A and B are shown apart, each in its own frame.
Chain A
Amino acid sequence: MRWVRLRTGTAETPIAPAAAAPAAIALARSDCGALWIELMGEPVALRPSGGLWIERAGAFVAGDLHLGKGSSYARGGQLLPPYDTIATLDRLEAEVRALKPRLLILLGDSFHDPQALDRLHPEDANRLRGLAMGRRLVWAEGNHDTRRGVSALGVLPGEVADEVVLGPLTLRHEPGPGAQPGEVSGHLHPCAKLVAAGRGVRRRAFATDGRRLILPAFGAYAGGLNVCDPAFKGLFEAPPLAGALGDGRVHPLPFSALCGD
């Protein structure tokens, strides 16, 4: 693996005052398609699945699973294919098999709506129990409604936490305001869009400036918010790098190459 240093903050229009911007993000591509970065000095892998691998802690993090999104729309009369929960769990299980994490952290919005847990198929509930076997499972739910669902019913294993601290990193669902060095969050469902060869390509993406990291949504049907959207304003000290999810690999894209919707 070869690490390269990528200067950030060189885009023409910094999205935040670049006073305290770090000089560079260290990047490396690995054979398995993951993109390694140093986040506050901690080497972490941005996985093509959209999850985060924190090697030293043996922790795998996935945000915004939105289990039960399909059936949530079905209730309202739009009968989306009911396979989204299965597809999401398939991917989560594949990552757990590949990485064998000691710690599995689900970073909030695990269920799409407060009743989604009630609609969960018994088989899918069993799969979630299976994921907790032999490791710690933490539902880092923040202050979300679904948290009550997860903990109060007690039907699923695992611990519920507002946030999780691992070395220099703090993991929580919703990005805190202003600069939050060391924060790993979800909630915003970042995605990146490129336009080339006469067409636009829009993909879910990690967003990071080397100091904080926002994970893309892991759920099969979870939509995305363009990282150029004002909602991301003020979160990064320098224009962030987007790690766009491609077929089996994460593509690092400079902010200056991205465009809005």
Chain B
Amino acid sequence: MDGAQTALPSRFQAWFEGRGWSPRRHQIDMVRKGREGRDVLLIAPTGGGKTLAGFLPSLIELAERPPRNAAGGVHTLYLSPLKALAVDVHRNLEIPIADMGLPITVEARTGDTPLAKRQRQRLHPPDMLLTTPEQLALFCAWEGAREYFADLRCVILDEIHAIHGSKRGDLLSLGLARLAQFAPHMRRVGLSATVNDPDMLRRWLAPAPGLADLVTGDPGAPPVVEVLVSQNEVPWSGWTARHAMAEVYQAIEQSKTALVFVNTRFQAEMAFQTLWEMNDANLPIALHHGSLAAEQRRRVEAAMAREELRAVVCTSTLDLGIDWGSVDLVIQLAAPKGSSRLVQRIGRANHRLDEPSRALLVPAHRFEFLECEAAKEAVEANDLDGEPARVGAQDILAQHVMGVACGEPFDLQALYAEVITAAPFADLTREDFERVVDYVATGGYALRSYDRFARLVKGRDGRWRARNGEITARHRMNVGAIIEIPVLSIKVASTRGQQRVGGRKIGEMEESFLEQLSPGDCFLFSGRVWRFETITGLDALVTPAPGEEARTPSWGGSKFALSTYLAKRVRRMIADRAGWPRLPDDIQEWMTIQQLRSKIPSEDEMLVETFQRGRRHFLVAYPFDGRISHGTLCQLLARRLERAGRQPLGFVANDYALAVWALQPMGEMDMDALFQEDMLGDDLEAWLDESFMMKRAFRHCAMLSGLIQRRQPGAEKSSRQVTFSTDLIYDVLRRHQPDHLLLRCARADAAQGVLDVARLGRLLQRIKGRITPVELSRVSPFAVPVLLEIGREAVAGAGAEAILQETADALIADAMELD
């Protein structure tokens, strides 16, 4: 305690005391690391004064700074993945600064900051600038950046656990490497929630090949997690947890403020509506998800801050965010899919370290009950699922290289040396780097016909620069690593003259969802039922349709896949018969019948059931490895079964199992051969190149790398108005230069994200030699949940060609009948 007291200047010590606080150990540790000039990662639970710990060294340094005549540059740069967080941190920093009367200026800068203010910030930099990674990328592409940041002493990265494993993280990491060139005295401070592999974040934070120091906050009281056992029995299938909503409502009634987390927007709408229907006590309950209009979301957030709400039904939009002191219960509707996400969400409740956070998990069906139990155990054991370290994406590097050239001319060797200090790019070869630079300059085509249109030119001084001001201006308009999914505004239709026009805007929705609706269809949005009328330009027009039955769109299922860690725990729970008696009766009964009729697989075994039902033959496998790798596995199995003459007709997958049905029986097949790892070779390659996932990945890479510019000077073009189709470009490029940089980027992205090929590889390895085939005379209890998904969700494999063929065949059949 003595050490703690001497570490803080008396003014600060007094301030803490005045507030009735004493500085925490990790806050003192952070001050010490600051004095030593160390890069440091702070891992602490929410509510532990983490943000203050990050800023404290800078506040002290600035408070002790001798008065100066000339205005200096930015001393501390704070970067947060959320705009709202930057604004909130600003508010919180003003308190100690005002209380102690410190001569420190703090300003926030986001995309919403007015242009005049942004210009003023350039002329008169504040001591502390709070902003987002995208603004850093813009600074890198600005001529004045080197001078502007020359005095920078400290950069603070908030919530880095949420950003490091993404393309946004790649861009941020490159931006830091650039910043280090401008500001040789800069040290790096990272703030993170609890993670399973702190060393990975320490490496990510420090300039490669270094490792940042680690400071850990004291853990808070362990959270109290309960799994809701509904009075109604746990359903076989589904994902809405509708059966338990009355109990959820009760839990809300008994708490001060509850956050009700769900996994998709549609689920949020459903849950909100159900709660509203049973809201006899008229509790103020609100809805928050990414499709709602920004003003509406802000209103909900403000009402939360004023402690006026009893519950908010929300999606991952509230996983991160500002602290709300009144939240004392977190409810997770349907399984959380991963323990880290669950811990993050539980952390939103009760930001006082001495009291435990409370969480209630509400499984939507039987496997999810096991999953919720597994998640609960994982949280109690603090067993978090992690992501593997990431290799930096080259489309992002291309964007960064262009940005650097917009800022100032660069030397090839010097820039390479700089880029490999960004941890995700530490292993980048000089050759690959030069290929990226060539891509930025001329497109990287074997047919060298664009040299005269080069975007980068090499000057007589041997340095590379942007060809002209227009190229620079275009780049600056398109900075960032966030792909905005094409959205349409949802507006209430009104009539002007003969025309239907859009009136009040109620929110935004992905184009891909609206595509699935026909005029007249009703859907839930913003807690009400609307009738879809038409699309005009960028608006979808709707009219209120109270009391109408809302259609279930196919964006129903969970977006997240079951994490490997939880999957393993679920497998263990199923195999562990001694633990069964702890489960509710209907789950026990279900598992007992499974044992009688088929088999309970052991922990590292994969059960494969085959049976006939009607005229169809089914194969159901239980890898328990998440819906994404299951979906990919289905695609590849279908190709194999096709070649083996089994005439597969369709397939479906959930987080636990997958089912394929075919015209021919599959029971006598050699399962080890069917599930052999070599399917990840040619089969995968061939299917991938044709798949629409690949086209989407290509589109994103083309945008991020600057091949296609979403925003053009003069006109705000939306993605709907891009005058060429990236699919056409993809087809041509694939045929003429299959090893082009962008195609390699797209393949890597598709394999990593939407297909999770790496995980599928691990799965196939795990089950090798451990497949237990069982031929059944009828469907088993375990197979029911996945089979119930047939028809509910779109068959993921339905190819574009099949869709065309089907409609055309129907037409021809129709025509034949008329004859």
Could you tell me which A residues sit within 8 Å of B by CB distance? Answer: 4-7, 27, 29, 69, 71, 73-75, 77-84, 86-87, 121, 194-201, 203, 220-224, 244, 246-247, 251-254, 257, 259-261
> Please, how many angstroms separate the alpha-carbon atoms of A72 and B708 in the complex?
13
Determine the chain B residues whose CB is within 8 A of the CB of A253 once the complex forms: 804, 807-808, 811
Determine the chain A residues whose CB is within 8 A of the CB of B725 once the complex forms: 221, 223-224
> Please, how many angstroms separate the alpha-carbon atoms of A4 and B819 in the complex?
7
Shortest Cβ-Cβ A-B pairs, 5 listed: A198-B794, A79-B443, A197-B798, A198-B554, A251-B808
> Please, how many angstroms separate the alpha-carbon atoms of A244 and B442 in the complex?
35
> Please, how many angstroms separate the alpha-carbon atoms of A222 and B731 in the complex?
13
> Please, how many angstroms separate the alpha-carbon atoms of A246 and B802 in the complex?
10
Determine the chain B residues whose CB is within 8 A of the CB of A246 once the complex forms: 800-801, 804-805
Candidates A82, A195, A221, A222; contact of B445 at CB < 8 Å: A82
12 contacts between A and B (CB under 8 A): A4-B816, A81-B733, A83-B447, A83-B737, A195-B516, A196-B798, A199-B794, A200-B515, A221-B732, A223-B728, A246-B801, A257-B811
Minimum distance in angstroms from A97 CB to a CB of chain B: 18
Whether B649 sits at the interface, judged by CB under 8 Å, is no
Check if B815 sits within 8 Å of A197, measured CB to CB: no
Minimum distance in angstroms from B786 CB to a CB of chain A: 18
Candidates B447, B793, B806; contact of A196 at CB < 8 Å: B806
Q: Tell whether A121 pairs with B811 under 8 Å between CB atoms, given A81-B729, A201-B804.
A: no
Whether B25 sits at the interface, judged by CB under 8 Å, is no
Check if B807 sits within 8 Å of A196, measured CB to CB: yes
Determine the chain B residues whose CB is within 8 A of the CB of A121 once the complex forms: 449
Check if A260 sits within 8 Å of B733, measured CB to CB: no
Nearest CB in chain B to that of A71: its residue: B449
Could you tell me which B residues sit within 8 Å of A by CB distance? Answer: 442-443, 445, 447, 449-450, 453, 455, 470-471, 474, 512, 515-516, 518, 535, 554, 692, 707-709, 720, 723-725, 728-729, 731-733, 735-737, 740, 793-795, 798, 800-801, 803-808, 810-812, 814-816, 818-819
Determine the chain B residues whose CB is within 8 A of the CB of A200 once the complex forms: 512, 515
Minimum distance in angstroms from A176 CB to a CB of chain B: 25
Q: Known A-B contacts: A4-B816, A77-B471, A197-B794. Give 13 more (CB < 8 A).
A: A6-B814, A7-B818, A69-B724, A78-B708, A79-B453, A79-B707, A81-B740, A195-B515, A197-B795, A200-B512, A220-B728, A223-B724, A253-B808
Nearest CB in chain B to that of A256: its residue: B811
Check if A251 sits within 8 Å of B445, measured CB to CB: no
Determine the chain A residues whose CB is within 8 A of the CB of B800 once the complex forms: 199, 201, 203, 246
Nearest CB in chain B to that of A260: its residue: B535
> Please, how many angstroms separate the alpha-carbon atoms of A79 and B449 in the complex?
10
> Please, how many angstroms separate the alpha-carbon atoms of A6 and B470 in the complex?
54
Check if A83 sits within 8 Å of B707, measured CB to CB: no
Check if B815 sits within 8 Å of A80, measured CB to CB: no
Minimum distance in angstroms from B403 CB to a CB of chain A: 15
Candidates A27, A74, A87; contact of B443 at CB < 8 Å: A74
> Please, how many angstroms separate the alpha-carbon atoms of A261 and B709 in the complex?
21
Check if A77 sits within 8 Å of B512, measured CB to CB: no
Q: Tell whether A261 pairs with B819 under 8 Å between CB atoms, given A81-B443, A87-B732, A87-B735.
A: no
Q: Tell whether A221 pairs with B729 under 8 Å between CB atoms, given A82-B449, A197-B803, A253-B804.
A: yes
Check if B807 sits within 8 Å of A257, measured CB to CB: yes
> Please, how many angstroms separate the alpha-carbon atoms of A203 and B804 in the complex?
9
> Please, how many angstroms separate the alpha-carbon atoms of A69 and B723 in the complex?
11
Q: Tell whether A198 pairs with B811 under 8 Å between CB atoms, given A78-B709, A246-B801, A260-B535.
A: no
Candidates B455, B798, B801; contact of A77 at CB < 8 Å: B455
Determine the chain A residues whose CB is within 8 A of the CB of B736 once the complex forms: 81, 83, 86-87
Among A80, A86, A201, which residue has the most Cβ atoms of chain B within 10 A?
A80
> Please, how many angstroms separate the alpha-carbon atoms of A44 and B146 in the complex?
67
> Please, how many angstroms separate the alpha-carbon atoms of A73 and B455 in the complex?
12
Determine the chain B residues whose CB is within 8 A of the CB of A5 once the complex forms: 815, 818-819
Candidates B447, B515, B731, B816; contact of A82 at CB < 8 Å: B447
> Please, how many angstroms separate the alpha-carbon atoms of A199 and B801 in the complex?
12
Minimum distance in angstroms from A218 CB to a CB of chain B: 12
Minimum distance in angstroms from B819 CB to a CB of chain A: 6
Determine the chain A residues whose CB is within 8 A of the CB of B728 once the complex forms: 220-223
Check if A199 sits within 8 Å of B815, measured CB to CB: no
Check if A81 sits within 8 Å of B737, measured CB to CB: yes
> Please, how many angstroms separate the alpha-carbon atoms of A244 and B793 in the complex?
26
Determine the chain A residues whose CB is within 8 A of the CB of B708 once the complex forms: 78, 80
Nearest CB in chain B to that of A87: its residue: B732
Check if A83 sits within 8 Å of B732, measured CB to CB: yes
> Please, how many angstroms separate the alpha-carbon atoms of A206 and B500 in the complex?
30
Determine the chain A residues whose CB is within 8 A of the CB of B732 once the complex forms: 81, 83-84, 87, 220-221
> Please, how many angstroms separate the alpha-carbon atoms of A259 and B807 in the complex?
13
Determine the chain B residues whose CB is within 8 A of the CB of A259 once the complex forms: 515, 518
Among A69, A195, A201, A257, which residue has the most Cβ atoms of chain B within 10 A?
A201
> Please, how many angstroms separate the alpha-carbon atoms of A201 and B803 in the complex?
8
Check if B450 sits within 8 Å of A83, measured CB to CB: no
Determine the chain B residues whose CB is within 8 A of the CB of A84 once the complex forms: 732
Minimum distance in angstroms from A113 CB to a CB of chain B: 13
Check if B470 sits within 8 Å of A71, measured CB to CB: no
Q: Tell whether A73 pairs with B724 under 8 Å between CB atoms, given A78-B709, A83-B732.
A: yes
Check if A82 sits within 8 Å of B450, measured CB to CB: yes
Q: Tell whether A83 pairs with B733 under 8 Å between CB atoms, given A4-B812, A5-B818, A221-B724.
A: yes
Q: Tell whether A247 pairs with B801 under 8 Å between CB atoms, given A81-B736, A194-B807, A253-B811.
A: yes
Determine the chain A residues whose CB is within 8 A of the CB of B808 once the complex forms: 244, 251-253
Among A6, A81, A84, which residue has the most Cβ atoms of chain B within 10 A?
A81
Check if A80 sits within 8 Å of B794, measured CB to CB: no
Among B515, B731, B794, B804, which residue has the most Cβ atoms of chain A within 10 A?
B804
Determine the chain A residues whose CB is within 8 A of the CB of B816 once the complex forms: 4
Among A86, A198, A246, A260, which residue has the most Cβ atoms of chain B within 10 A?
A198
> Please, how many angstroms separate the alpha-carbon atoms of A73 and B442 in the complex?
13
Nearest CB in chain B to that of A6: its residue: B815
Determine the chain B residues whose CB is within 8 A of the CB of A244 once the complex forms: 804, 808
> Please, how many angstroms separate the alpha-carbon atoms of A171 and B443 in the complex?
38
> Please, how many angstroms separate the alpha-carbon atoms of A254 and B815 in the complex?
11
Minimum distance in angstroms from A75 CB to a CB of chain B: 6
Check if A223 sits within 8 Å of B723, measured CB to CB: yes
> Please, how many angstroms separate the alpha-carbon atoms of A260 and B541 in the complex?
14
> Please, how many angstroms separate the alpha-carbon atoms of A5 and B815 in the complex?
6
Nearest CB in chain A to that of B518: its residue: A259
Nearest CB in chain A to that of B439: its residue: A79
Candidates B442, B793, B811; contact of A252 at CB < 8 Å: B811
Candidates B470, B516, B707, B729; contact of A198 at CB < 8 Å: B516
Minimum distance in angstroms from A143 CB to a CB of chain B: 22
Determine the chain A residues whose CB is within 8 A of the CB of B554 once the complex forms: 198
Minimum distance in angstroms from B467 CB to a CB of chain A: 8
> Please, how many angstroms separate the alpha-carbon atoms of A82 and B454 in the complex?
13
Determine the chain A residues whose CB is within 8 A of the CB of B518 once the complex forms: 259
> Please, how many angstroms separate the alpha-carbon atoms of A73 and B119 in the complex?
32
Determine the chain B residues whose CB is within 8 A of the CB of A220 once the complex forms: 728, 731-732
Q: Tell whether A78 pairs with B707 under 8 Å between CB atoms, given A83-B736, A199-B692, A244-B804.
A: yes
Nearest CB in chain A to that of B806: its residue: A196
Among B455, B795, B808, B818, which residue has the most Cβ atoms of chain A within 10 A?
B808
Among B516, B723, B728, which residue has the most Cβ atoms of chain A within 10 A?
B728
Nearest CB in chain A to that of B513: its residue: A198
Check if B798 sits within 8 Å of A251, measured CB to CB: no
Candidates B470, B707, B798; contact of A199 at CB < 8 Å: B798
> Please, how many angstroms separate the alpha-carbon atoms of A86 and B718 in the complex?
29
Determine the chain B residues whose CB is within 8 A of the CB of A79 once the complex forms: 442-443, 445, 450, 453, 455, 707
Minimum distance in angstroms from A181 CB to a CB of chain B: 23
Determine the chain B residues whose CB is within 8 A of the CB of A81 once the complex forms: 443, 445, 729, 732-733, 736-737, 740
Minimum distance in angstroms from B738 CB to a CB of chain A: 11
Determine the chain A residues whose CB is within 8 A of the CB of B474 once the complex forms: 77
Minimum distance in angstroms from B791 CB to a CB of chain A: 11
Among B442, B518, B733, which residue has the most Cβ atoms of chain A within 10 A?
B733
